[in-house]
Structure 1
């Protein structure tokens, strides 16, 4: 079922043409005696005047319609153009312009009285008398102008309310953005003051231990701790830059996977890497995602399966890249560290943002498999 507002919206683009046709028909009917005094002019002239009056409704110039209305009233006693001109004056004119229109129409009505006296007959009875002239002025000029004023005032009020609502919405969004920026800045300060401070201390102590110890194994472990801490500070700077809405540091991609494996081997993890397929150009987002998958897999293996063998496999497919990190059962050579499982949650979101899929779970032999399939998309 069609609603009234929907019907109005569909008709609105054609309203000027429909209004022009209505005015032309009403002018012709008024001049031929159907809706007013019959005109003594030939029918052909009446038709032409009616068409010209209807066409004047479509004009964008303000003076065209009032001029046509004045001519129609004097020649044909046609009320339709006068009503429309007064209505448009009330909706579009204000102040001195509206007063000039109202004052200018009064001499036209007086001239109509003189024409009515000269023509005589029915026309004299309708417009020549002072009472009829004043009544015509009230109904054809004043009343439509008042209606136009009311419509124009309502339109202006609605426009003001809409502008105010839009302004309030913009201010609300700006306020919310300021609050979010302040909260991000606060979180960044907290992370910098707490996490960065403690990691920096860890790097300093590891460096001191590396220099002062006489045990080569201890020095090597201290070097790994120092290098890992410095990498953690770099990653923390990237996170803080995002929180502060600063340009983040370039994230590691393909070149960083070998570094991850080297770091894990230096930490005592047995890692093997296998590459299948022919590498092709990939976007930075795909390379970063593959790097994060390997990083998460090696981190989980160090935490939950110390001493286990780990295999990293990268398959280059025609439409994507498959990255898999699989570790065997822990041999109990080291302590198992606790985990919250949030790393896999964030990694899954990262992979799904690229249009890929992530699977993670235990294997039948007691190990763990992390596998991600990332579409290559367009290389950048």
Structure 2
């Protein structure tokens, strides 16, 4: 029993104690039945009201009947039923029992009219209060539904804006970036074919191969961006640790790969390692020409540590445009996997990039 129900039963018992003659066993029985009926008011409100009605007829203890009438009014939706119940209580409370005790001409006396008015007001009060509580409850539900609908609409609006931005980005990538990379590939092919210098031809072949790979990735990324609004699309093919040797070989940097891994890592960890090594080698090409690099991928218990270090540059670095978002993106990727990325300059004039990830017991 809820605390509110227990308090209501206690108040009804107090009403019985004060207003029922304990010598009249029938009145006491009817009053106690009304008190017990209050335990049914939440699940069977009409039954509870009917069981409490006799106490209003036979005794002055009407608290249980009023409480049952209030509960019925707060739950029922049929106004005609509530009117009938209120009139039934008013008649039971006003009329003497037995009804034959009502004397002829009593209904015309002023004090009787006052009593009738008071009884009708007493019967109407719990009905109005219960209807008010019901309206408040329904209003709260409607407000909650409106709030949910508004949040859903805002989500749809934000998704539509995001889809529009992704479509615009896809157009820009297709019209500008892909075009420029295609020109790079064409010029590199011309250099590969037309140059007499073997090193220049090799460089042209490398540039052309990387340009073609970049175009393939761009085309797939454009497809992913244009697929917004449909099911999530995975960027495929996804790189893994098996692709590190090809990445290092195509980097044009003298790189040593050291690893003690045994067993397979989850694909998400392999992608994080690959992207970290890729970004580090890209930075070496841009900022440390002529430097050599070392890639160490080692496992220490439940942690995976990747360290990419490079020596000091042997040639002046070219001034290339960059948004400095590479390391930020690596840090965000690592945080999503529960790891971290740190970077620092080495005492020898080089640079070190470190990635640490939890393996989660894999492999």
TM-score normalised per structure 1: 0.80
Query: Which of the numbers 19, 30, 39 marks the counterpart of 1:58?
Result: 39
**What residue number does 1:15 align with?**
4
Q: Deviations over 1:86-140 (max 9, x none)?
A: 3234323343322332344455356x334265499xxx9xxxx843651453243
**1:257-303 deviation digits (Å, cap 9, x = unpaired):** 11111102xx3x2122222x342332112111111111111111111
1:229 aligns with 2:204: no
Query: Does 1:201 find its partner at 2:220?
Result: no
Distance 1:333 1:231, change over 3 A: same
Q: Does 1:329 align with 2:290?
A: no
- For residues 66-77 of structure 1, the aligned pairs below 5 Å read 66-77=49-60
Q: How does 1:157-172 map to 2 (within 5 A)?
A: 157-172=139-154
Q: Which residue of 2 aligns with 1:274?
A: 258
Equivalenced residues, count: 349
Distance apart, 1:213 and its partner CA: 4.6
Q: CA RMSD in A?
A: 3.0
Query: Aligned pair 1:315/2:298, yes or no?
Result: yes
Contact 2:34 2:53 in 1 (8 A): no
Q: For residue 58 of structure 1, give the secondary structure of its aligned residue in structure 2.
A: helix
Q: How far is the alpha carbon of 1:170 from its aligned partner? A: 2.5
Query: Aligned with 1:281: secondary structure?
Result: coil
What is the Cα deviation at residue 203 of structure 1? Answer: 2.3
| 1:247 maps to 2:247 | no
Q: Which residue of 1 aligns with 2:82?
A: 98
CA gap 1:93/1:357 in 2 versus in 1, 3 angstroms: closer
5+ long unaligned stretches in structure 2? none
1:29 paired with 2:18, answer yes
Give the structure 2 partner of residue 295 of structure 1: 278
Looking at structure 2, the residues matched to 48 and 347 of structure 1 have their Cα atoms a distance apart, in angstroms, of 79
Question: What are the Cα deviations for residues 12-58 of structure 1, in whole angstroms up to 9, with x where unaligned?
Answer: 952123223322332343213xxxxxx7622xx55544443223122
Q: Distance in 1 between matches of 2:45 and 2:346?
A: 83
Aligned to 1:41: 24
Q: Which among 167, 170, 190 is matched to residue 188 of structure 1?
A: 170
Name the SS of the counterpart of 2:352 in structure 1.
Answer: strand
Render the CA deviation track for 1:326-366: whole Å, top value 9, x for unaligned.
11122228746454432112112222222222221221121
Matched residues in 1 for 2:140 and 2:257: separation? 68
CA, structure 1 residues 270+13, in 2 after alignment: closer, same or farther (shift >3 Å)?
same
| Contact 1:316–1:322 (Cα < 8 Å) also in 2 | yes
Change over 3 Å in CA distance of 1:378–1:190 after alignment to 2: farther
Hey, what's the Cα distance between the residues in 2 that align with 1:333 and 1:166?
59
Distance 1:249 1:24, change over 3 A: same
Superposition TM-score, scaled by structure 2 size: 0.84
Partner-residue secondary structure (3-state), 1:248? coil
Change (3 A) 1:109 1:373: closer
